[in-house]
Amino acid sequence: MDKDTPAAPTGTEEEDQAAKFRMFIAEIQQKLEAGEKRLQIPNGTLSDLHREPDYIMVIKIIAALEPTVNDLIAGGLSKGGGLGGVPNKITFAPVADFAADRLQLSGRAGKLELAYRLGMLDNEDIAFAGAVSAIRNRYAHNITNASRQFIDLVREATKNDANLAKKLFYGIDVNFDGMPNGFAKVLLASSFSRFLESAEMRLQVPKGEFLGGLLGLAGRDEDQAI
């Protein structure tokens, strides 16, 4: 072939986009499989979330999210800086157990807030968890919603919270006009895989402090709480 002759195209634009999308799905599945392993649940429980019925997908996310937050609290308490900056000599297991059993997920004195105070979640993580909880409530508290599409419930929820979509998708400004419901579910699975990946990183290198986390619940501004 003449060196000046352009190389033949490797594929159409549609084929290239399809290949990128497959890679995107594979990355999501890889992160979700890591979450399955850490939570010690069967393979496939989370990794194919976007193929689940919409209601089941959202319920599964909450069911996996809450024990993940429990792990973050336990990790922050047991491996944090300790009282007065002195490294902890014991594991604060009773406190972690109390948080897991008694605290609600959201709210000023909830698990998400405690995990934030321990440095184990950031604002975007908390915003995602609160937003997906809001969608879960729409499914769980009204049986007529059980067969409805995820994207329709998100559109409804944004009437009460204009920023809900950004919270669900980690700050991405998503335009739902004309978006297929299946693609919206893929984006939700991607957000959850990001939450799990972030949690795994923090569990490996915890940054929490017992005093700041446990006693700081009362001091955070209301506008930052879920």
Token pair listed for 160: 């009460």
3-state per-residue secondary structure call for 105-135: CCCCCCHHHHHHHCCCCCHHHHHHHHHHHHH
Per-residue pLDDT band for 103 (boundaries 50, 70, 90) equals: low
Give the pLDDT score at 207.
45
50-89 pLDDT, tens per residue?
999 999 999 999 999 999 998 888 888 776 544 334 444 4
Cα–Cα distance for residue pair 45/60, rounded to 1 Å: 8
Mean pLDDT of 4-25: 72
Mean pLDDT of 104-113: 75
Sign of the torsion formed by the C-alpha atoms of 175, 179, 184 and 187? negative
Do the Cβ atoms of 96 and 74 come closer than 8 Å?
A: yes
pLDDT at 100 over 80: no
Do the Cβ atoms of 96 and 73 come closer than 8 Å?
A: yes
Mean pLDDT of 158-182: 87
pLDDT at 224 over 70: no
**Distance from chain centroid for Cα 179:** 21
